[in-house]
Structure 1
Amino acid sequence: MPESGNWVDTHVHIFERRLPLAAARRYAPDYDATPEELRREMRTAGIAKAVIVQPSFLGTDNHYLLDTIVADPQSFAGIAVIDPASGIDELEALKEAGIVGVRLNCIGQPAPDLHRGDHGVMAHRLGELDLVLQIQAEGVQWLSIAPGLDDLPCTILVDHFGRTSAGDESGGFEALLSSATVASNVWFKFSGPYRFPEDAADRCAAAILDVTGHDRIVWGSDWPWTQFEKQHTYQETFHWLDRWVGDAGNRQQILADNPARLFDFNSNKH
């Protein structure tokens, strides 16, 4: 592997059992995943910076995430979860604190209309502030979300390959790829292959690379692998990337250059 001094892990989570949980949640951890533990993993793996994604079970209470980033902005940035009706002042404050994007988790929810209502306003505000909209959706949800992504004023980052297998009966993955073919603002995150049927992520990776090349791909370890704890190691996540992207130069682009460009890490702010 190339020199790792500027590698970025774009998908990790931190939490403690003592934190208040969202009323509507699909999962609640029975262990802690602290910033200190994450730093140890990063140091061992040669990761320079991690993008901490607010987990769904903490809802829109981003205090733990923000406190962690403010305490160590060189090591951490964040993806927050917000009420789509949040005002521009709140988004500006989040950005000032080190937030680089907002996560929209559609799993188990109706697919949102990103062109109208609160979600449409949110997308425009994110575009104004150069914040990324990170979307976790799956299957048939992409049939309504994917069309028109190129019309949105913000950059879209698709979580976990789109969480839909190539050839899935919903046609969701193909709808997403079709959109990415014309929408240069759509990026993909290569992460969480264990959330798919066996080998499905490999096929998704190959199909995505055929459409986007290596220019709109980032990588995430998905540490600490919620709901799949103790089944994986941090180093194993690099082996997955080796399998999806055989060329060391292309891996360096995905691990360092692309996240720096996507999240503007080379600016004075970061």
Structure 2
Amino acid sequence: MPNHSSTPLRCDCHIHVFDRDKSYASSTYQPPGKGIEAFRAEGMVRGIGRAVLIQASIDGTDNRYLVETLRAQAGIELRGVAVIDEQTEGLDDLDAAGVRAIRVQDRTRLGRNDLDRLPVLARRAATMDWHVELNTEPARYGRLQALMASLPADQPLVLDHLGHVSPHDIEHLAGLSRLLDTGRVWVKLAPTRVSQSPDRYDDLAQLIHHLAGRYPERCLWGSDWPHVMTAPPLPSSSAMIGFLERELTSAQFEACFSSNPAALYRF
């Protein structure tokens, strides 16, 4: 869906889609059977015209539904972040469908600590000119920092969910800043896994000011729609966008929602 408007399309850089016909009986959680049409109805608010589909942990390396959704496009510009392993085939087909990155899980909560596999997976991604998106936590920042030299040169590394920092923990912020100071780490200003103030997010204001003020060219936003493993009431994309409109300058907001995702995901 080309953009013929002079107004830049805003991008939600972190959503999941789920095949309602697929059984998840043995999964760690039961996802809602919501695909891209449900996102169009619920998440395309306040100028959102682009989205990045993130392969969910419970789908593993079976990227078929992700690819099906990307190929359909469905009235919204889409890109994808796939999950691969050392043996995954068909990377060219993933790229042709719109995949622009791989995701690596490194979260104790999910029982996945794959950080030591990052170098080999990152090298596989680099053969396709893809970046890496990492779902990790502050306790692992030191290990990640040590691995940076072994990753392909200049390959971007994106941290999901504000790096899962506690917003007022000085050590967490220092560790996140050290990673961002490498010049190749990006961060998603996705508040729902971090804030203790649902749909207000005022406890994140100081953190957001620091990140957007110091690293404006490497901030993104993602809603985490449809909010799996989240207790109701479910977060509102409009509330998140409103919070960031209040806390960011107009230039920071435009970068976070439009120009940064356009560059990173090659819209």
TM-score band by shorter chain is 0.7 to 0.9
Deviations, residues 201-252 of structure 1 (Å, cap 9, x unaligned)? 333323323442x11111112212222454322211211212331x223211
Query: Is the CA contact 1:101–1:134 (under 8 Å) kept in the aligned structure 2?
Result: yes
User: Could you tell me how far apart the structure 1 residues matched to 2:252 and 2:214 are?
Assistant: 15
State the 1:163 CA deviation. Answer: 0.6
State the 1:44 CA deviation. Answer: 4.1
- TM-score under structure 1 length normalisation: 0.82
CA change 1:147–1:239 in 2 (3 A) is: farther
Task: Give the equivalent residue in structure 2 for 1:231.
Answer: 234
Q: In structure 1, list runs of 5 or more residues that go unmatched.
A: 266-270
Q: Which stretch has the larger CA shift, 95-104 or 158-167?
A: 158-167
SS in 1 for 2:146: coil
User: Could you tell me how far apart the structure 2 residues matched to 1:200 and 1:99 are?
Assistant: 34
Query: Is the CA contact 1:136–1:162 (under 8 Å) kept in the aligned structure 2?
Result: yes
Residue 164 of structure 1 aligns with an amino acid whose one-letter code is V
User: Could you tell me how far apart the structure 2 residues matched to 1:196 and 1:75 are?
Assistant: 29
User: Could you tell me how far apart the structure 2 residues matched to 1:209 and 1:56 are?
Assistant: 28
Q: Is 1:13 aligned with 2:16?
A: yes
Q: In structure 2, list runs of 5 or more residues that go unmatched.
A: 1-5
User: Could you tell me how far apart the structure 1 residues matched to 2:63 and 2:158 are?
Assistant: 20
State the 1:262 CA deviation. Answer: 0.8
State the 1:141 CA deviation. Answer: 1.6
Task: Give the equivalent residue in structure 2 for 1:123.
Answer: 122
Task: Give the equivalent residue in structure 1 for 2:56.
Answer: 55
State the 1:259 CA deviation. Answer: 0.5
Query: Is the CA contact 1:35–1:68 (under 8 Å) kept in the aligned structure 2?
Result: yes
SS in 1 for 2:90: helix
Q: Is 1:177 aligned with 2:180?
A: no
- TM-score under structure 2 length normalisation: 0.83
SS in 2 for 1:106: strand
User: Could you tell me how far apart the structure 2 residues matched to 1:132 and 1:22 are?
Assistant: 32
Task: Give the equivalent residue in structure 1 for 2:103.
Answer: 103
User: Could you tell me how far apart the structure 2 residues matched to 1:20 and 1:80 are?
Assistant: 20
Q: CA RMSD in A?
A: 2.6
* Alignment of structure 1 residues 8-157 onto 2, 5 Å: 8-21=11-24, 23=26, 25-29=27-31, 31-72=32-73, 75-83=77-85, 85-87=86-88, 89-108=89-108, 109=111, 111-114=113-116, 118-149=117-148, 152-153=151-152, 154-157=155-158
Task: Give the equivalent residue in structure 2 for 1:220.
Answer: 222
User: Could you tell me how far apart the structure 1 residues matched to 2:210 and 2:186 are?
Assistant: 13
User: Could you tell me how far apart the structure 2 residues matched to 1:129 and 1:232 are?
Assistant: 34
State the 1:113 CA deviation. Answer: 4.4
Residue 207 of structure 2 aligns with an amino acid whose one-letter code is C
Query: Is the CA contact 1:193–1:201 (under 8 Å) kept in the aligned structure 2?
Result: no
SS in 2 for 1:250: helix
SS in 2 for 1:19: coil
Q: Is 1:203 aligned with 2:203?
A: no
Q: What count of residue pairs does the alignment treat as equivalent?
A: 253
User: Could you tell me how far apart the structure 2 residues matched to 1:150 and 1:241 are?
Assistant: 33
SS in 1 for 2:79: strand
SS in 1 for 2:217: coil
Identity of aligned residues (%): 26
User: Could you tell me how far apart the structure 1 residues matched to 2:62 and 2:165 are?
Assistant: 28
SS in 1 for 2:107: coil
Task: Give the equivalent residue in structure 1 for 2:159.
Answer: 158
Query: Is the CA contact 1:28–1:57 (under 8 Å) kept in the aligned structure 2?
Result: no
User: Could you tell me how far apart the structure 1 residues matched to 2:25 and 2:188 are?
Assistant: 25
State the 1:110 CA deviation. Answer: 5.8
User: Could you tell me how far apart the structure 1 residues matched to 2:232 and 2:133 are?
Assistant: 23
User: Could you tell me how far apart the structure 1 residues matched to 2:232 and 2:9 are?
Assistant: 27
SS in 1 for 2:12: strand
Residue 217 of structure 1 aligns with an amino acid whose one-letter code is C
